[in-house]
Chain A
Amino acid sequence: MINQPVIIILIPLFFAFLIPLISVFSKKIIKIIPVIAAFINLAAIIKILSSSSRILKYFSISGYKIPFGINLIFNYQIGMFLFAINLVALIAFLYFYKNEFNIGNKIAYPIAFTLGLTAANGMILTGDLFNLFVFMELAAISGYIISSHRKGYYSTITYIVITSIGSLLFLLGTASVYNVSGSLSLNTISTGLQGVSGQFIIIISVLFIISLSGEAELIPLNSWVPKVYNKTGDTGRIFFGSIFSSAALFAVIKVLILLFQGSYSYIYEVITVIGLITLFIGEVVAFRQENIKKMIAYSSVAQAGLIIGAVSMAIKNGIINKMVFNAAIFQLFNNIFAKGLILLGVGALGAYHLNNLKNNNKKLLASILTGIGVLSLIGMPPFAGFWSKFYLIKALVLNKFTFFIIIFLFSALFEVYYYMKFLQKLFFSEGNKTKTKKDISFLTYGMMVYLSAIILLIGIFPNSIYKAISDIFMGGIL
């Protein structure tokens, strides 16, 4: 039991439901429970990683044979993603424990965060379509609770309406697929879909594309992103920016590759176009923002568009172009750490609006560490983001995807501009506005240093991480 990947989902679920029980006895211990949950989960992941292989394997639950029960997929690379997400979750929970526990209902928010971690792990691990629906809904519900952390009620309404539509469309698609192919498990659907009329495939594919873009922050369902990022608390922002968006994006990629298995090239063209439009619009709108939280939200949208556009560009005629695909996955991996660090720094410093940043001489270390996260995201050497952008551009030029490169680099120009403007104001602004943020605790400094160290290490040893995370879906699937 300990060696099954299902335990990665079970541990946070168990602790989430432990919280209401413990709250009867003592309200103070609740603070530490999410931290314990994330920590044990991290330990379990490391243990399972050490005994896993690099080929995609299906794990069934409760002994049902593969197409008939819920099954999970796991290999070493997926384990690395889980490790990254749980690490950032641990850091977010530590921040919550130290700074934000007393805001809002003391029972509801820890439960929501822990359930959110469960849902994120579940979205990455699952290999079954309906199970993905359930985890997406779980993530959505915990997302609703998290987004109302600091009284952001109107943004929650927008979020609820849009994601409900998305999940309903997903349910429609799943039911139709089940009706035609007779199975709900990702690896057997594609054989069942052969020989179906083209128009049906179009409708199903469009349903999936639209619905999956809801949680993954792609157009057209990403209108909630700036509103929710603006109004939620600091921990909530870390959750949305690093954990939910990356997990949902990974789930989208998984469905795209395993469900359609590379046929029906219309789907991949459409997703490339959606990705490029999201990238372009995300960057140009972020360019005009003065509110830092919204700026980071739009940047997150644009990065999601870039990754999904690159992934779908890499699949043509059923063959995955390894260079482009691995570079995009590497970019997704780096973004988890970079966005986590930036959002942690912004929350700790209280840097919420470009005109309100006072010269932070006393908090210079925190500003520098946030700067490391930003420099990694925009791709400056010697940090991690430089290598992922480098590999991505290399793969794109080698395969002569000219239009994609033009839009990608054009948007990247604006991204460099507004992030550098943010850094300038963070380091050097001279103003008299006073801030009411307390001093940053030693624990927060420690976490920021830890994340920066990871980014620097990936920047110095990029090839090992790149090799460790490449070829996720190889091994007999495509």
Chain B
Amino acid sequence: MINNIINSWVFVYGPLSIFLIGLYGILTQNNIFKLVISINIMNLGVNLYIIALGYVHNGIAPIYTEKFKMSGENFVDPVPQALVLTAIVISVAITAFFLAVLIKNYEKYKTLDIEKIKGLEND
């Protein structure tokens, strides 16, 4: 029973609260750089959640070799791990591009404050 509580609290609500922290960051921070960091935190939360979803109790790593012919029943689910790898790569690319755009923004407006840029942009 404790296991279940720990499972659900640690593996589900933990990553989701990290996600919510990142969301809080986007909601309230004015500095564009902090927006980048918040998005990264949100990514972290989601990735953790996905990995946690694939956990099988008392499972082992899903590696199949000739020597240790374990059957597939004790494997932790490998598909979420593949999904997370893809998601990490995508988030790296997005962060890199976001930072490049941020630099260009700074060159143009000389400030990283979103309220001030919106005023200058006058759109």
Interface residues of A (CB under 8 A from B): 130, 134, 137, 140-141, 144-145, 148, 151, 153-157, 160-161, 164-165, 167-168, 171-172, 174-176, 178-179, 184, 227, 230
Contact = CB atoms under 8 A, between A and B. Distances in A.
B66 interface: no
A285 to B, nearest CB: 14
Given A171-B50, A172-B46, A161 B101 contact: no
B76 interface: no
Interface of B: 19, 23, 26, 32, 35, 39, 42-43, 46, 49-50, 53-54, 79-80, 83, 86-87, 90, 93-94, 97-98, 101-102, 104-105, 108-109, 114, 117-118, 121, 123
A227 B123 CA distance: 8
Given A141-B93, A144-B97, A230-B123, A171 B105 contact: no
22 contacts: A130-B86, A134-B86, A137-B90, A140-B94, A141-B94, A141-B97, A148-B104, A153-B104, A154-B109, A154-B118, A157-B35, A157-B98, A157-B102, A157-B114, A161-B26, A161-B39, A165-B26, A167-B90, A168-B46, A174-B83, A178-B79, A230-B123
A323 B82 CA distance: 42
A389 B83 CA distance: 42
Nearest to A162: B26
- Binding site of A, secondary structure by majority: helix, strand, loop or mixed? helix
Nearest to B114: A157
Nearest to A172: B46
A168 B105 contact: no
B83 A130 contact: yes
Contacts of B97: 141, 144-145, 160
Given A175-B80, A176-B53, A154 B105 contact: yes
Given A151-B104, A161-B35, A175-B53, 13 more contacts: A137-B94, A144-B101, A153-B105, A153-B108, A154-B123, A156-B101, A161-B26, A164-B94, A168-B46, A175-B83, A178-B79, A227-B123, A230-B123
Given A153-B108, A156-B101, A227-B123, A168 B42 contact: yes
Contact of A157 (B19, B23, B32, B79): B32
B91 to A, nearest CB: 8
Contacts of A227: 123
Contacts of B98: 157, 160
